[in-house]
Amino acid sequence: MAIVPIKGNWWNAPVERTEALWIGIALVWAIIMFFMMPYWHMVGNQNLSTEAYKVTPDAYEAKVDAFVEKYQVREEGDTGIPVVKPPAGGDVYLLARQFEWYPIVELEKGQNYRIHVSSMDVQHGLSIQPANINIQVHPYYEMIFNATPTDAGEYGIVCNEYCDIGHHTMLGKLYVK
């Protein structure tokens, strides 16, 4: 029994058939699951870029402000959040801070964009709903990934990394036309 010591050369005892069979099956499944990941890198359409740079919040905010100034088309809401429409194939700059996503962007369906994201203060979670795309946002790091929206509509940007007391009020917006 498993609660008493075991004498003898137990390593040499033959393995019973059910266990041997299951071991074979489990190993095959393990290898299949492992290779799914590099496989998806080769043929799949959803992979997270590893492009990132160390940056200071001030320097990053300057890039965001320049982006907003260049491509702003209107404002929205009582707080006057700028809505920015970048050119297709261009760079999109988003920042996260306690407790807002800035700015609101308007993208075109089927077009690729280079999306930059960083935080001004603590960690935040970029959660684009209802697409359910979830990416972690750090201060002092600028992450860049390519995204092609596949469905038109109005998306919410939820924050899903706890970022202190106003965390649940942090909600942005993203349009895909």
Partner 1 sequence: MAEPENTGAGEGPEPFMQQLLNNPFLLLFLGVLFPSVLYTIWGIIEVASIPVGQ
Partner 2 sequence: MSNFRTCPETGFKIDLDAEKLIKWNAVTGVVFLLVGGFFGLLVALTRWPSVHLLPADLFYLALTAHGVDILLVWIIFFEMALLYFCSSVLLQCRVATPKIGWLAYWLMLGGAALGNVVVLMGESSVMFTSYVPLKADPLFYLALILFAVGALVVCFIFFGTLVIAKREKTYEGSIPLVTFGAMVAAIIAVYTIASGAVILIPTLLWSLGFIPYVDSLLYKVIWWGMGHSSQQINVSAQVACWYAGAAVLFGARPISEKVCRTAFLMYILFLQLASAHHLLVEPGLGAEYKIFNTSYAFYLAVFGSMVHGLTVPGAIELAQRRKGYTKGLFEWLRKCPWGHPAFSGVFLSIVIFGFLGGISGVVLGTEQLNLIMHNTIYVPGHFHATVAGGTTLAFIGISYWLVPTLWQRELAMPGLAKFVPYLFGIGISGIALFQMGAGTLGVSRRHWDMTFADSALTYDYPAAAHLLMALNGISAIIASVAGAIFCLQMVLTIIGKKKAAPAELPAAPQAEAIQGHGHGGGLAVPGTFVLALVFLTSFVLYYFVNWKYLSEIWILS
Which residues of the chain form contacts with partner 1 (CB under 8 A)?
Answer: 8-14, 52-55, 59, 141-142
Query: Using CB under 8 A, which residues numbered 6 to 35 contact partner 2?
Result: 6-11, 13, 15-19, 21-23, 25-27, 29-31, 33-34
* CA dist 82 → 38, 79, 105, 154, 159 (Å): 40, 9, 8, 16, 19
Q: Using CA atoms, how far apart are residues 100 and 97, in angstroms rounded to an integer?
A: 5
Cα-trace Rg, the chain: 24
Q: Using CA atoms, how far apart are residues 151 and 131, in angstroms rounded to an integer?
A: 9
12 membership: H or E segment, kind and range: none
- Site mask for partner 2 (CB under 8 A), range 71-110, x = bound: ------xxx-x------------------x----------
- Which residue, 9 or 46, is less far from partner 1 as judged by CB? 9
- Which residue, 72 or 160, is less far from partner 2 as judged by CB? 160
Q: How far is the CB of 159 from partner 2 (least distance, A)?
A: 7
